Structure 1
């Protein structure tokens, strides 16, 4: 069981690396590029929706959100683009957590928070 989980985690990391490489492919459609950017930024960001220190739930968001995002991108991405990206990802050394990804995630959270504040102030005003 433990070996299967480790293999699944490695495959997930390779898919995230392939998505990061597919982002740069000129044949990638805009919608797929935007969704892939969000998935890669979330996967590589040290900031999670639910902090990993919270038992079970902290890891559950990574086990659900990242694969769900990858699934969505795979539905939007041309198969030949992903095949090229996967081949390049196998050759690459791998991806590491990114400060740029953290900035994207923080910006998204700030935009969401500001939107919520705006909705609440209109609701209670």
Structure 2
């Protein structure tokens, strides 16, 4: 077998996995529109970035949660996306799903009070972030 056949097989396999993941993300976005809308998250981006930075800098939060937040911030600040934002429905959905997964991991590691303690936005914004993290909204939100 030639090297280019192996390379072609690897590239084809990666593309196939990418297409399957895109299809699954598109299906999830279509069947779960009530989870959190991308426009709600986009409105919260400045407060959400402050929250992520603040929790990542908190020494009382477990190290694995802080490392996850730093990696999430790096991903969000990258100039390119796994799924380009110009693709309808799933363009922003990949970012929302990644933020939700990391927030849920942070909440499991640090506890829901860490989100409320570091939130600097509105109570309504905290309620959206709590929904995104998969927890009940704090009693003032």
Which TM-score bucket, shorter chain as reference? 0.5 to 0.7
Aligned to 1:53: 86
Counterpart Cα distance in 2 of 1:15 and 1:9: 9
Query: Structure 1: where are the runs of 5+ without partners?
Result: 92-125
Number of aligned residues: 86
Q: What is the Cα deviation at residue 5 of structure 1?
A: 6.0
Query: Structure 2: where are the runs of 5+ without partners?
Result: 1-36, 123-141
Task: Identify which of structures 1 and 2 has the higher relative contact order when contacts are C-alpha pairs closer than 8 Å and 6+ apart.
Answer: 1
Structure 1 runs, 4 residues or longer, greater than 6 Å off = none
RMSD over aligned CA atoms reads 2.7
Scaled by the length of structure 1, the TM-score of the pair is: 0.53
- Alignment of 1:21 onto 2:54: yes
Counterpart Cα distance in 2 of 1:80 and 1:59: 28
Larger radius of gyration: 2
Contact persistence 1:12–1:67 (CA under 8 A): no
Cα 1:34–1:9 shift into 2, 3 Å: same
Contact persistence 1:16–1:70 (CA under 8 A): no
The structure 2 residue matched to 1:68, chosen from 82, 101, 111, is 101
